[in-house]
Structure 1
């Protein structure tokens, strides 16, 4: 019996690593012959071993580059014609556009695209119109499109990128769910957390806010730094832990913001970390003031560690977090609202305790990873004809 061939594509290998952890190996266990495609990276051999899947490098840029994009498209078509996959399933905007176009050209029968955030939401003018067209073209080439949140589905329908019969939110949302057994306190994590606290001079008297993600403007970092700096003037014991990389080539922070980060003794910048769990274990509140998301993993991860979350009222975030139940929801790009929410959780012991108590159960009940994987597998089986 021949195995059904499944190809999953992202623009860069980091997305395969972090957004789809464990899912590809699950599909291998269910009888699929799985291939991964993205640009080349340092960790691809590790990915092949972890996911029991074959990696194929096709260089793709994250920005608009017509000549390079055309070269990538031709390479993808060549790969698809050689492998003859049953399913091509894409993630991230550029991989979605090129992957769906190439799959249609190569007559791949089942062409699927997951939407996990739309950069066009923060674009204007000609750039926005171009991004809207590329979204429309991606969905035109796909036979099914999976927004990873209900609000994102509504935005796509409102934008008229495709018809409702092509759209489906799987489960309660998310692209990969969350491994709730992995994201919980253990003796090993406590030991690592204690070492980190000692390294940065953190004590029981400190109250630590944490941000995890790319340190760029559209994640709300400018507002976060200003809100935190003002709050720290009145509460010397608070700290802000920044976990993630800068991306100056795509969405740089202002020189003023970078100076505030670099000059503050209360802001701890640790850069990108492969394992964010020890940093969650030493924190009290997640602050995630992003401008746009699909269905972010970070609020789910924080919730598993019993951290209340302050998030903006945007796609995904306002589905994971219920206001006043497991966190606080604020308007995006609003420094005063962000500072007020941080102050409430810092000083409101009863409110903090209530949100903390609810945080993990609300994530476990709705987003357990293996349940979502089983729903995606059933979707594949249905499209393959049972």
Structure 2
């Protein structure tokens, strides 16, 4: 029986590996999750049938704490003696790859979910690039979750084309197409939610799902929607997800959104497909992504998508097939794209129908099967 350790830095990242360790356990692997102590991690391990290996990890650079965490990682690896490790967020990947290399773990996978350095400058960028290079050097294989992330890594000398790959068309964990299926959402539940939210049949609903942070383009979305709303008060903007104040440069933006008569912030929701079902158009104007999972989830629910022509995001939308790609940080292009889809119901219908087939490329089992093949090779 092969022993597999998967690692994440932040407890919230369990959402990025939902179903994955249960899948490998069912294949006969002995499965472990290396992650901080947190209720979300405990719940994940209970649900997926894996063993928790607790490590105290800081997302940001913290030399003393990082050395202590490295010691914890080494202790876990010595005890478990894994056949395969797959670490998938920057801090745990750096420490995990160093430890796994030192201890002679043969199958060392780094799942590269994007690069934090992409929009940094100066010394911080240099440090982040250096960390990525060390992680990649000690990995024996790098899974990039999108083709544009792989291209960026190769261009910046992080890793070679020979050492890196994308499984099928990308994404870190695939999409649960049984969950994100419009047929699985009860029509009555959608009607009830619309009523609860105060939406009538005359309202046109734009939607966003994700963390409210600068790089997701929330400021641009607020400004574009406000422009459109000033001429059409039948428009609505439904925002699903938590506000992370540490990553919002101007906190008055959240207050402005809360006060806007056309915008509704509903926070984190467990039934995301239900909330997608009340939307007419999905928007993700991110500055960069590793891979825009939520854009595929929206497509799977039959929604036309507006996204950005940037790293990661552009891989999740098929341009002019199931959605529109715009330049990042462009309020005008976003406004134009939103107005275009308001004015063209036949295009919304076409994009929505095409999205149903586009999403089939990202079935979770396709991604997990690709991982399984890698795990068997050493």
TM-score range relative to shorter protein = over 0.9
Structure 2 matches for 1:205-354, cutoff 5 A? Answer: 205-249=202-246, 251-354=247-350
**Residue of structure 1 aligned with 2:179, choices 182, 192, 197:** 182
1:380 corresponding residue in structure 2: 375
2:351 corresponding residue in structure 1: 355
Shift of 1:191: 3.7
Moved more, 176-185 or 78-87: 176-185
Distance 1:118 1:98 in 2: 17
Partner-residue secondary structure (3-state), 1:204: coil
1:166 corresponding residue in structure 2: 163
Partner-residue secondary structure (3-state), 1:300: helix
Distance 1:330 1:232 in 2: 20
Shift of 1:219: 0.6
1:10-34 CA distance string (max 9 Å, x none):
0122212x11111111111111100
Distance 1:71 1:191 in 2: 53
Distance 1:326 1:116 in 2: 23
1:295-333 CA distance string (max 9 Å, x none):
121011100110011000012321221222100000001
1:125-168 CA distance string (max 9 Å, x none):
11111111111111111111111111111111100012222111
1:109 corresponding residue in structure 2: 106
Q: Determine if the alignment matches structure 1 residue 11 to structure 2 residue 37.
A: no
Tell whether the 8 Å contact from 1:118 to 1:292 is kept in structure 2 after alignment.
no
Distance 1:190 1:72 in 2: 49
Q: Determine if the alignment matches structure 1 residue 196 to structure 2 residue 174.
A: no
1:91-123 CA distance string (max 9 Å, x none):
111111111112122221211101112111111
C-alpha change, 1:192 and 1:71, in structure 2 (3 Å) is: farther
Shift of 1:350: 2.1
Partner-residue secondary structure (3-state), 1:111: strand
Partner-residue secondary structure (3-state), 1:164: coil
Partner-residue secondary structure (3-state), 2:314: helix
Tell whether the 8 Å contact from 1:308 to 1:356 is kept in structure 2 after alignment.
yes
1:184-204 CA distance string (max 9 Å, x none):
124654343333212221111
Runs (5+) with no aligned partner, structure 2: none
Partner-residue secondary structure (3-state), 1:360: helix
Distance 2:187 2:89 in 1: 34
TM-score, with normalisation over the residues of structure 2?
Answer: 0.97
Runs (5+) with no aligned partner, structure 1: none
Shift of 1:274: 2.3
Moved more, 335-344 or 193-202: 193-202
C-alpha change, 1:47 and 1:256, in structure 2 (3 Å) is: closer
C-alpha change, 1:298 and 1:161, in structure 2 (3 Å) is: same
Moved more, 165-174 or 180-189: 180-189
